[in-house]
A and B are shown apart, each in its own frame.
Chain A
Amino acid sequence: MGLLAYFLIFLALFIVLAVYFVNAFILMDVLEKKGYESHKYRLKAFIPIYGNKVIKKLDILSKEVNESHINYLYKPYYIYRKALVVVLIEFLVFLLLIPLSVIFYLSFINNKILTMLISLLIIVVYLVYQGSVAEYGRKKGYEGVKYDLMALVPVAGFFYFKAKKPLKETSRESLKKVISLKNILMRFFINAELTIMVVIVVLPVLYIFGMAFSNVRTDIPNTLWPKNPNFQAFIFLTKETNFWTWYRNTLGIAVINMIIGTIIITGASYVFARYSFKGKKAGLLAILVLQAFPSFMGLIAMYVLFWKFGLLGKPLALSILYIGGSIPGNLWLIKGFLSQIPKDLDESAMIDGASKVKIFTYIILPLAVPILTFVAVSMFMGPWMDYMLPSYLLDHMVDAGDATDRWTLAVGIYKFINDANHLNYSAFAAASLIVGIPIAVLYMIFQKYLIEGIMAGATKG
């Protein structure tokens, strides 16, 4: 059958199902309003035309509701709303079902998929088992990591918990609930989803590792893991490219950015936080507006500026730009934080005769260490992976030349996969690992901190 036919069939199915469910849900709402709770009546809602008739005839049981309430449920506005929700959910379900069914179908034909599915199944079943046993233990009163780990042990784990005396009062029924169908099913789906997500998340990472340990220069690596893992790429990186120069360049920019930037911004934010002066609101708004400008707009100007002062091709000069660009955003952040320091502290200090400068240095600064750290860290991290500025200002000079020692990491890594002169996929992967792993580890360790900081910037202002 032609493609068009397939498509039309799908569409027809979709519409029919949508109409059916909209009808069913509306009927259920009617039942609810009228006061009928039991399953017997609920089932009637799922029978198309017969159900409509029957339900309409039912009397209203609940006292607060009358005819007009019921009629409201049949109004177009209400139907459209329901229809929208139903269509959305149905769309998502279809979106999920189609690939799933395809994979299912394929698993009968293709070995690879079969093995993948089976391994997935085993993992999920194992997890379900572990979860159930852990819950069993929890119901008995044993909570904690140790017991969760205990639950990992197949078979024996269950008996371990069975033997233990219950610490809490639990009925047999609630224990039985642990292995109820609903429970197991939910566990199954949740763990399946998690496992699949983990696979999806980890796959590209694995790929990069594989690419770094193989030695492909210009071919695209096609397998997930190379046949002969080696360190060639790393050696190449150190010996034949200016990789470590790039590292130094980028590090230099980051450090300068962090130190000088934080110093300049802190003073300014203090003033905004603590004092009201003429033009403060205008100033704040102006800063916000500045932030809204695409940083790109100044690109040409920066190019000419650097050109004039002979700074083109000097990586460290880029820090000027990063500092300038981050003034608005970070000023806002620090100001918000400082505003939350109670003004009473200031006032009591002023009564004691401290000057403004003293208040700033001895009282405010120590309290602001958390946010200052955050700003310093983000100003350090910022330049590492910026590509736009370095590529234009370091590589596009009026008097061209191919000296690669001007580059920063972002530019160099980009060139490994996009520039015909420097094409080398393995080097790209190796460089990405060297640069990416420390940053990733840092982010993972400080994740809570960083996320809070960003959220603080957005909400508390």
Chain B
Amino acid sequence: MKLKSILKAILSFFIWGLGQLLNRQYLKALFFFAVFVLFIGIELGTSKYFYKEDYEHQLAYEKISGNNFDDEWYHHLLGYYVKQFRENNKTYPAFEEYLVLNDVSIIEIGSGRFTWSGEENITEASFIEWLASDIEKTSPETYTNIITDDVIEKDEFLNNIVDYKLLKTKEIIYYDEDNDIYYYENIGRSIEEEEREYIETNFFTEKENPAIINKVTGFLKYEKSGEIYQYNEKYYLKVKVNGDDKLALLNLDVLSFIDYPTTPPLAVQKNIYGPLYGKGDDFFEHYRPGLIHNGVRLQYKETDFMKMFRTAMVTTFNLPGNEFDGTDYTKLMIKVYFGLNPEVREDFLDGYDHFFYDRAGLFTRGYWAVSTLGITKKVDYRSFHALDDIMIGTEKDGVSSSLKGLIAISPSVPLQGHVSTMLLLEGLIGVILSLFFFIFLFWSVKDAYVTSNRKIKKEEIESDRKYFKNIWDKSFEYIVLSPALFVLAFISIMPIAFGFIIAFTNISGNESMMDTFDWVGLKNFVKIFNFASGLGDSFGRAFWRVLSWTVVWAVFSTFTVFFGGFIQALILNSEKVVFRKLWRTILILPWAIPALLSQMVFSVMFKEKGVVNQLLNSIGISDILKNIGILGKPYHSLSKVAQFFYLGPENIQWFSNPHNATFVRATLIVVNIWLGFPYFMALMTGVMTAIDKTLYEAADIDGATGFQKITKITMPLVLYSTAPILIMTFSGNFNNFGVIYFITGGGPNTGSPHRGFAGDTDILISWMYKLTVDYSVYNMASVFSVLIFFFVGSITAWNLSRTRAFQED
């Protein structure tokens, strides 16, 4: 029954070789099974499915640089606690609770002497968890009335106190005296934009529906300092008005100023760190640890426990042979910070202990990578510095309880997210490699099915040995091809797939090589054709511009070179030439010299102060041109016609003429003739000498003139045999990077973003190169190369599929 075969085939699908086993073909089964094991082996070997972690979430935490303070250190901490607190007859109740919860007991064995047990139950993780909760409890979010010093908890404030507005205490504002309006500058706008924006505001607070103006000339400048002073039992904000120090009364309804007192009684500064919310003349200072206000980050509040903690830490760092350093402590601070902000920790663990990224093997990870291009973006942790005061210490602390100056803490801790470029690469490698293995999979399935069927029909089955010998014979071709195929797959196909995929993402900019980017589908392509969008306006237009010039260039350069070579070959071939070989050898020089060098030489020769211009000057041609009026004068002073033929302000700007792109392009095509004609000349002389002489003799008898002989015999024959080369040259010129890049560098007017970074003589490939290497706009470069491929590739395929050789096969 066919069912049996199908079953065997399905089994073979899941475990390769199983079907063969059931067919009693043991050698084959072994073979397939071996490959299967290799496949699974690679997958498992490159994975971390069975990774044994020393501690929880090790894979994620390892990404933060720094070592852990082991659990042992915390056991020692217990000793410090005992010394600082218990021996001084003090306790820290919260900590005591924690100890009880973890079965740690401290026993007094004499007056002022203690011992403890059960400290092995303390782990870093549980300790940090507790510490975070304690810190959070001791630093709740509050609002403090600055006059009465009443402290109100956050919830109560939000529910009961309404209509209190946020004060802006540190900024620069401008005062329009005539209209009694204040303005501040909108700093969000980029510096490039020429017009600045100034937004209307109240003196202390934001205004609803503000007007926007562009100039503040003649307005008074007020610099609010952010410092609050108390004077004569009232509160003021110190302001600098046109250079004079003044105090502005803190009152949202009435604005009044007094001079800043320089003689006693002086104003006393009140330490206000957090943002102020006020109504009328009642103000609350908001405290939330971690909040950044006027450039300062609010800190968590100090506790006795933290002081002891710091002391313990200082001692540790001062021990000889200490191996901990600032990086390790920073890591600890981050862990505490995680404890205080569980959502941040969740995000961290999700992103940095990702199943597919961190644990999966080559193949699984590969498929995931290609489909998602990485998920975790990079982070830069800074907020942990809200713990600076309590974990490092302040100026108030003595040396024994302050870590300042002892170790260096980094201002931020950046973590590399998923690097999409790497991921894509590894993903493609995994996918392609897996495809190679899948060949064996399908082979196994098919073979199991077929052999099983044969068995059922009681047909003869060849022995395993014979089977493999047949395979060798039949697939000899495939086997010999495989090394080349293998190399080809990874060196040619993989990069092309990579480049292809990039066109559908949003990778762009200097950072993006190391960043996470995403699939955007056909958005890039659509943008090119939609000139309304910003991207379309610059790149889209540029694309069509460059494309049309590329086609024009390819056509003209190919044909001029072709006919130039043809004419030269004709002349060379005439009977009237003596020492033909000598002439030919000299004339073939431009082809023999490496193109790169001659292109670079031309770029030097045709510089504005270069040889060619010098020569023209000394001959006198420059004078003629100056008389005509297309040289020697600034562009804008000329008539329209002269502007059309404009050559340059002083010397002829062969390749750098910003106003006359056509001239530059024409020069380029002419220079290219020098570079290209010798090749065709040599080719065609060869063809011409091969033409049967009798054809010419017959034409002579018929009375043909020289001209007719050329046009009716030589030209058709030569054209016919060199036509394929013509097409090759056309597509070669289409992608002729060197001529453009080295001679003109892409042409005048290159490098401006709103022209898509394309110059006037940029062809597609030089433009794409610049986009990739100089301007890092990787995705657009890929988009264009995909488009080029479709254009050139289809022509090439169509052309070559027509050649006889291909069809014969």
Q: A residues bordering B, Cβ < 8 Å? A: 2-4, 6-7, 102, 106, 109-110, 112-113, 127, 130-131, 134-135, 148, 151, 183, 186-187, 190-191, 193-194, 197-198, 200-202, 204-205, 207-208, 211, 220-224, 264-265, 267-268, 270-271, 275-277, 280-281, 284-285, 288-294, 296-305, 307-308, 320-321, 323-325, 327-328, 331, 336, 339, 356, 384-385, 387-388, 391-392, 396, 398, 410, 413-414, 417-418, 425, 428, 432, 435-436, 439-441, 443-444, 447-448, 451-452, 454-455, 458-461
Contact = CB atoms under 8 A, between A and B. Distances in A.
Given A432-B601, A447-B682, 16 more contacts: A106-B620, A151-B578, A186-B574, A191-B577, A198-B583, A264-B487, A270-B480, A284-B806, A292-B796, A305-B494, A323-B491, A388-B737, A398-B514, A432-B600, A439-B592, A447-B588
Contacts of A292: 731, 789, 792-793, 796-797
Given A131-B576, A197-B587, A294-B735, A205 B593 contact: yes
Contacts of B426: 308
A148 B576 contact: no
B620 A280 contact: no
Contacts of B428: 301
A3 B576 contact: no
Given A223-B614, A388-B737, A447-B592, A290 B496 contact: yes
Contacts of A435: 594, 597
A301 B476 CA distance: 32
Interface stretch (B22-30, B58-66, B109-117, B637-645): B637-645
Most A CB atoms within 10 A — which of B488, B737, B772? B488
Given A193-B571, A292-B797, A391 B773 contact: yes
Given A193-B571, A324-B488, A458-B725, A200 B674 contact: yes
A291 B796 contact: yes
Contacts, number: 307
B674 A288 contact: no
A284 B809 contact: yes
Nearest to A428: B600
A414 B742 contact: yes
13 contacts: A7-B641, A134-B578, A204-B601, A208-B601, A293-B793, A298-B492, A298-B494, A299-B495, A301-B499, A304-B424, A304-B513, A336-B805, A414-B742
A272 to B, nearest CB: 8
Interface string B460-504: 000000000000000011101101110110111111111110100
B782 A109 contact: no
A303 B495 CA distance: 10
A439 B594 contact: yes
B596 A387 contact: yes
A264 B484 contact: yes
A207 B601 contact: yes
B804 interface: yes
B578 A130 contact: yes
Most A CB atoms within 10 A — which of B428, B491, B502? B491
B772 A288 contact: no
A451 B683 contact: yes
Given A294-B789, A398-B514, A447-B682, A461 B600 contact: no
Nearest to A440: B592
Contact of A302 (B495, B741, B797): B495
Given A268-B484, A324-B491, A447-B592, A4 B639 contact: yes
B604 interface: yes
Interface in B627-679: 628-630, 639, 641-642, 645, 674, 678-679
Given A106-B624, A204-B601, A292-B792, A413 B619 contact: no
Nearest to B618: A112
Interface stretch (B86-94, B131-139, B605-613): B605-613
A207 B600 contact: no
A299 B772 contact: yes
B806 A461 contact: yes
B611 A224 contact: yes
Nearest to B486: A264
Given A2-B639, A271-B477, A398-B514, A297 B782 contact: yes
B768 interface: yes
A265 B488 CA distance: 10
Interface residues of B, number: 117
A186 B574 CA distance: 10
Can you list the 7 inter-chain pairs with the closest CB atoms, starting with the nearest? Answer: A298-B495, A324-B491, A461-B805, A301-B498, A301-B495, A297-B499, A292-B793
B509 interface: no
B367 interface: no
A6 B642 CA distance: 11
A205 B678 CA distance: 15
Contacts of A197: 568, 587
B589 interface: yes
B411 interface: no
Most A CB atoms within 10 A — which of B497, B590, B731, B809? B809
Contact of B765 (A221, A265, A296, A447): A296
A325 B146 CA distance: 75
Contacts of A102: 621, 624
Interface in B771-790: 772-773, 778, 781-782, 785-786, 788-789
A459 B721 contact: yes
Given A323-B491, A384-B594, A461-B800, A190 B576 contact: yes
Contacts of A211: 604
A280 B595 CA distance: 36
Most A CB atoms within 10 A — which of B498, B592, B639? B592
Contact of A432 (B589, B597, B641): B597
A439 B738 CA distance: 18
Contact of A3 (B588, B629, B678): B629
A410 B738 CA distance: 11
Contact of A385 (B591, B597, B602): B597
A264 B481 CA distance: 9
Contacts of A331: 484
B475 to A, nearest CB: 8
B421 interface: yes
B181 interface: no
Contacts of B487: 264, 323-324, 327
Nearest to A459: B724
A444 B801 CA distance: 34
Contact of B585 (A200, A444, A455, A460): A444
Nearest to B768: A296
B716 interface: no
A224 B679 CA distance: 26
A151 B735 CA distance: 48
A387 B600 CA distance: 12
Most A CB atoms within 10 A — which of B579, B597, B607, B768? B597
Contacts of A336: 805
A205 B576 CA distance: 28
B773 A396 contact: yes
A285 to B, nearest CB: 6
B621 to A, nearest CB: 7
Contacts of A112: 618-620
Given A284-B806, A292-B797, A297-B789, A417 B499 contact: no
B491 A207 contact: no
A336 B424 CA distance: 37
Contact of A327 (B492, B579, B630): B492
Most A CB atoms within 10 A — which of B487, B495, B722? B495
A187 B576 CA distance: 6
B508 to A, nearest CB: 12
A325 B574 contact: no
A374 to B, nearest CB: 16
A454 B722 CA distance: 11
Nearest to A224: B611
B453 interface: no
A5 B26 CA distance: 95
B488 A220 contact: no
A351 B737 CA distance: 52
